[in-house]
């Protein structure tokens, strides 16, 4: 039984962690912290958890968290984690950061896209990018894991086999992603109000979304050369789910067989990736840690349209964080994640 | 390990049974049947279940089901079960009927409200009304369980303690219920189309909904005298969930203390009923087997407003069916039902 | 051409006024004011209005508004209007207040329910309750009109003919109302976030909602004696619309004919009230100034279930305000309100 | 006052025509026809129209329609119109076809994509593609107008200025479009049920959607050379609205100024096209005939991301059909289309 602490437990990602971990057979929730709700029971903030998790929330305090827990999850706004994590903290507890601070290997890229100074550059070398299916062995021996973003997990996993196997051109990749509204977080902003989101769709952060360099970093690694791409996120009226529709030009001569082989080789044994032969729908993965990936070759245009769907709060955040924890602590990788997609279909 | 068969497995209630039972540690799914989709894999009809349940659907055939399974769940339109269940079937398998045919003890009432002839009157005496919290001991020794309706489970559980303890007048009870659209089933009807349901609310089956006599039967039993009440269901734009807002006149002298005592006495030890001190919201129970119940006394009017919330597909259908199975077969009552409410909150 | 000013123009009710008045043939929008957005173009706050209304917002200033306009609409939180309106203001402009301050004739009732001091008691006698269908002639000669609440308009219009004609018992009336989320306003509150409202339903302000005394006031006037009733509002996941499901005990001997006569007598000539023979649905009135009213007598229980549906932002707020303006200034009562319900059906 | 007939009046596009034309000052609705609902009042099928349009529906009969009306709108499934329209019909009435049969100039392309035989090839030369902003003068003198598809109107208008002015490469254009569910029509299909659409997003008809050749036809005309592109539609959980996110490579040296000039030159005087400086949102055009178009140049990638938003039932279908009628019959082009976008924002 390992002990777990969560800072930022009352955001959507943090509360999803509580939901998942409350059913994990190998962990005990030791400390839940929330700057906004300190002093109140978690289940008062999230009444769905009455009787499931009634812990009282404490103040966000990483020292205390590292003292009482074997693993500390950080579910904080970007820029916070880099000011909190230290070698001393890491000597006491494994840190799994759901924020962006340790995801980009290149600190200049981080500072350029996030417009803040990185406050613990020296730790970057120790951080592992926690995309489980790509970096499993490094994760297993790490004490600082940068849990990937929601859009990035979806986009990278969808494109990785194509790029890795050299089946598509490195130039001209376009990712058009659609996300449910929980991705915008629980902050009380006018733009997130029901009547502002409902019955509408829009693009946002065009040409400037911070998940772009994260996707490019991982696909460049896979390609063995720099990959620059176009990433456009959209907000759609639903709670959970991301669909990434990815467009790439196939290299000459590449057909169905090569593509299928590449996906099967990359993910044939993966428990959370399902290769599907109809277009993936977010409802088919909602509430679960699955990523559904499908594709279609258009001979007319020479493009491949590859699509990935996941639940932004599970595989796109808390679920992958639990998966990372399972890898580090030697649990079965699916422990606590045996979730059946729960939407009505 | 007991063997399970489901007839009508591809309706919303049937598929929810599959979802729940696929994670139940004590059962094996032996036979899934569907008139509409026989011959196809279950996961082709419900792609969310790819890799979780890929059984091929067979034709609805209760004989075959009873031959191969220890328990047969019927998730069929009303009127079917009464023509299928026989003493011979019951000698081979326990039958848990999610339909209406065996719920009403009085066959004339059944035929008056359902406008069909009951085809197995003799079995009615053997059927137990499967509202677990009220009839647990009878359920344990029954082989034919009439799983309650969704509205009825919610309404009865909300009002039962008040009626049982004699705290409210038997006359003038009003139940105004609101249901998500999965309650309308998966039939391809114009009225159930997205654009016909979305952005709207309406009442339906006013003064004529078939769950009315079912609620009256159980509350009359609790009261020890006939209870006639007004039940009005409403359709609202969401997938899952029922909220029953119940109005009753308090007997003179009844106050907060008596009401709280009555609820605690009735449900103090129940694992799936949560007594809550803020108005219940359906999102707090969605995806789980919980019923959240709250109430408010209005001294100005002398009324009590009691509210119950549940997930119509879980506690209102498949979850309670599993709970009934657990009781009959001696499993922990919560086995397979350890679901954390999954909605974003 | 009369000149119009709106204070609080960027709330949902205020912006709906702009939407309606921008198509009214007899008015010119002279001044739009907003405390939060002063200095910015209206169409920057509501981009749907680009090219339709690009006026720059000024600070809320009733003096200035009354100087430049013939009619001033107030769409402010309760408690503000009573501190702003004076005899001098009324000497310059007609005031139509969409807030609650001048709706209740009894100031003690106001202060008891609203928990604030009323700051212009002397003006109460001059205020007319602006429910057009009930008080048309008084409205025509008034300079201070208290535009009714959304729930109240719907509830009163639904029950008025029954109460006025003495067809129902005065005791035991219950109103169970369901509202879309725009009724909660545009304030950036966590409880109004998309993910907190979507896929859920709840009751709120049980036994304490401030529209209760307003409904009681008008029905008491119709009855000729005090009427005390139970009013319970619910929040449902849609933008616009209120459905009020009203329950009352019929007086002995009252049947279909008497009820139909009462409704026809009350509303036979009304242009915005439609008596319908199927349960009203909010989508059928969305975007329009209509109120659809239907009913069903339950002989089994002796109750009548009467239902009214309207758009909370139109007939429940801005539309009725325009209707009031039309009455006062002698326009055709439907001018600017010839809206066809616009939802997909 | 011209007389209007509509065949297929009870589909979503047909009923939207009724909604719009019922407020048009220059037309009288003479005949509404519906195969499914013949003999019933229109307002029984669409109760929102009670008191607005209570005409009795007749059988679909183009002969009768052309006899009684000056203009016949066809809102029928593809393949029907080509079997109904004849020179004789056109001699009696103008035909505005909301279906696909007369949109493609090349009959082989039509038959290849639609998999049906075209039954009136000789009429193709007489048909004008009714995209008002592009072909206004030809429309004015035509008697057979092929009203464009919803996706196509949105996509073509968004890309036309860029292609026409030669600012983007002709190869590699990608259109990722998102549509509300009314686009799927009113047919009672399982895939269109509320619970199947709600809380999900998916792509469909990848590399095979029939609006593709229509978009290519018009952009090829603008480019002066063949344009082949990738078009991917998505279904999202809302009633109305299409957002087309279009990706193209800028020609060397093209910057903000050239792009802005191109859009202003193309649409500077258009009443229904708004060039916007924030990403367009479908709620800002819902219920109106507007198209909002915005764009962003990404210097990092050399791409332009151009976005168009419209209401698929208005500018994407019935609104544009009315606009075409206005052009043909010499009405003000905005008559009956003076709609203020009606969504809550």
Whether the predicted pLDDT of B342 surpasses 80: no
pLDDT score, position B343: 55
- Higher-confidence residue of C344 and B151: namely B151
Could you report the per-residue pLDDT of B271-281, keeping only the tens digit for each?
A: 999 999 999 99
Whether the predicted pLDDT of C344 surpasses 60: no
Per the CB < 8 Å rule, is B237 touching D195? no
Exactly one of A53, A132, A150, A246 is catalytic; name it: A150
Helix-strand-coil split of chain C, %, nearest 5: 35, 20, 40
Q: Give the residue from D47, D180, D193, D312 with the most B CB atoms within 10 Å of its CB, the best one to mutate.
A: D193
Rounded distance between C-alpha atoms, residue D17 and residue D56, angstroms = 16
Rounded distance between C-alpha atoms, residue C91 and residue C98, angstroms = 19
pLDDT score, position D343: 53
Interface size A-B, in CB pairs within 8 Å, comes to: 77
Rounded distance between C-alpha atoms, residue B260 and residue C7, angstroms = 47
Could you report the per-residue pLDDT of A74-88, keeping only the tens digit for each?
A: 999 999 999 999 999
User: Which strand ranges, in their side-by-side order, compose the sheet holding B128-129?
Assistant: B27-33, B2-7, B71-74, B94-97, B144-146, B128-129
Distances in Å between the Cα of A62 and the Cα atoms of A99, B77, B279 are 15, 56, 35
Residue from C309, C316, C270 nearest C291 by CA: C309
Q: How far is A245 from chain C (nearest CA, A)?
A: 24
For residue A146, list its beta bridge partners: A97, A129
DSSP calls for D164-194: HTT-B-SSS-EEEEEE-GGGG-S---GGGBH
Rounded distance between C-alpha atoms, residue A17 and residue A323, angstroms = 11
pLDDT score, position A345: 43
Per the CB < 8 Å rule, is D198 touching B238? yes
- Looking at residue D90, the DSSP 8-state letter turns out to be H
Quick check: is A195 catalytic? no
Residue of chain D whose alpha carbon sits nearest to that of B195: D239
User: In percent, how much of chain D has pLDDT > 70?
Assistant: 99
Six-digit token string for C309: 């549906």
Of residues D23, D240, D278, nearest to C338 (C-beta)? D23
Per the CB < 8 Å rule, is D344 touching A237? no
Whether the predicted pLDDT of A344 surpasses 60: no
* Ranges B130-134, B325-329, C118-122: which has the least confidence: C118-122
Of residues B204, B206, B283, nearest to C200 (C-beta)? B283
pLDDT score, position B339: 76
Interface size B-D, in CB pairs within 8 Å, comes to: 54
Whether the predicted pLDDT of D173 surpasses 80: yes
Six-digit token string for C154: 């719907």
Rounded distance between C-alpha atoms, residue D50 and residue B339, angstroms = 46
Rounded mean pLDDT, C94-103: 98
Whether the predicted pLDDT of A295 surpasses 90: yes
Of residues A229, A236, A305, nearest to D236 (C-beta)? A236
Residue of chain D whose alpha carbon sits nearest to that of B185: D195
Residue from B259, B272, B150, B136 nearest B215 by CA: B150
Could you report the per-residue pLDDT of A311-339, keeping only the tens digit for each?
A: 999 999 999 999 999 999 999 999 999 77
Q: Residue A164's CB: how many other CB atoms inside 10 A?
A: 17
Chain B CB contacts of D204 under 8 Å are none
Exactly one of B132, B150, B154, B246 is catalytic; name it: B150
pLDDT score, position C345: 43
Of residues D230, D286, D300, nearest to A303 (C-beta)? D230
Residue of chain A whose alpha carbon sits nearest to that of D209: A298
ipTM of the complex: 0.97
Per the CB < 8 Å rule, is B286 touching C200? yes
Chain C CB contacts of B284 under 8 Å are 200
Per the CB < 8 Å rule, is A240 touching B284? no
Chain D CB contacts of A201 under 8 Å are 178, 236, 238, 241, 243, 281-282
Helices (H) and strands (E) in chain B, counts: 12, 13
Collect all residues from C whose CB is shorter than 8 A from any CB in D: 12, 15, 19, 22-23, 46-52, 182, 199, 239-240, 274, 276, 278, 281, 283-288, 292, 313, 338, 340-345
Note the helical H segments in B93-200: 107-114, 132-140, 150-164, 194-197
Residue of chain C whose alpha carbon sits nearest to that of D182: C344
Whether the predicted pLDDT of B228 surpasses 50: yes
Rounded distance between C-alpha atoms, residue C309 and residue C12, angstroms = 19
Residue of chain C whose alpha carbon sits nearest to that of D195: C199
**Angle of helix C211-223 relative to helix C107-114, nearest 10 degrees?**
150
Six-digit token string for B282: 């359906």
Could you report the per-residue pLDDT of A23-56, keeping only the tens digit for each?
A: 999 999 999 999 999 999 999 999 999 999 999 9
This prediction has a pTM of 0.97
User: In percent, how much of chain D has pLDDT > 90?
Assistant: 98
Could you report the per-residue pLDDT of C101-119, keeping only the tens digit for each?
A: 999 999 999 999 999 999 9
Chains in touch with C (3+ beta-carbon pairs under 8 Å) read A, B, D
Rounded mean pLDDT, B6-28: 96
Residue of chain C whose alpha carbon sits nearest to that of A12: C195
Rounded mean pLDDT, A228-256: 98
Mind telling me the catalytic residues of C?
A: 150
Mean pLDDT of chain A: 96
Chain C CB contacts of D50 under 8 Å are 274, 276, 284, 292
Q: How far is C181 from chain A (nearest CA, A)?
A: 7
Rounded distance between C-alpha atoms, residue D43 and residue B295, angstroms = 41
Rounded mean pLDDT, A221-238: 98
Of residues D243, D249, D296, nearest to A207 (C-beta)? D296
Whether the predicted pLDDT of B27 surpasses 80: yes
Chain C CB contacts of D274 under 8 Å are 50-51
Rounded mean pLDDT, D103-126: 95
Chains in touch with A (3+ beta-carbon pairs under 8 Å) read B, C, D
Exactly one of D53, D132, D150, D154 is catalytic; name it: D150
């Amino acid at each position: 039984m390992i002990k777990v602490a969560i800072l930022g437990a009352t955001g959507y990602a943090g509360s999803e962690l509580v939901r998942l971990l409350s059913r994990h057979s190998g962990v005990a929730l030791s400390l839940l912290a929330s700057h906004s709700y300190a002093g109140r029971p978690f289940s008062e903030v999230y009444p769905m958890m009455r009787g499931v998790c009634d812990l009282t929330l404490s103040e966000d305090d990483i020292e205390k968290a590292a003292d009482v827990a074997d693993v500390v999850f950080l579910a904080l706004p970007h820029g916070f984690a880099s000011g909190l994590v230290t070698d001393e903290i890491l000597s006491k507890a494994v840190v799994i950061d759901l924020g962006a601070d340790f995801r980009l290997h290149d600190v200049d890229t981080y500072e350029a896209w996030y417009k803040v100074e990185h406050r613990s550059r020296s730790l970057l070398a120790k951080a592992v990018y926690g995309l489980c299916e790509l970096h499993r062995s490094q994760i297993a021996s790490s004490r600082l894991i940068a849990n990937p973003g929601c859009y990035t997990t979806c986009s990278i996993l969808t494109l990785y086999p194509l790029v890795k196997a050299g089946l598509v051109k490195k130039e001209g990749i376009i990712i058009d992603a659609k996300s449910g509204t929980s991705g915008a977080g629980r902050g009380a902003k006018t733009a997130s109000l029901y009547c502002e989101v409902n019955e509408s769709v829009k693009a946002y952060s065009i040409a400037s979304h911070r998940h772009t360099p994260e996707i490019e970093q991982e696909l460049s690694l896979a390609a063995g050369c720099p990959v620059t791409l176009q990433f456009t996120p959209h907000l759609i009226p639903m709670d959970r789910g991301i669909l990434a529709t990815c467009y790439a030009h196939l290299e000459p001569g590449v057909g169905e067989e090569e593509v299928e082989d590449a996906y099967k080789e990359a993910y044939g044994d993966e428990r959370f990736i399902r290769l599907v032969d109809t277009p993936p729908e977010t409802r088919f993965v909602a509430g679960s840690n699955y990523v559904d990936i499908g594709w279609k070759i258009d001979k007319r245009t020479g493009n491949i349209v590859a699509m990935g769907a996941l639940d932004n709060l599970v595989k796109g955040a808390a679920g992958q964080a639990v998966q990372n924890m399972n890898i580090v602590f030697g649990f079965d990788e699916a422990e606590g994640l045996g979730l059946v997609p729960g939407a009505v279909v």
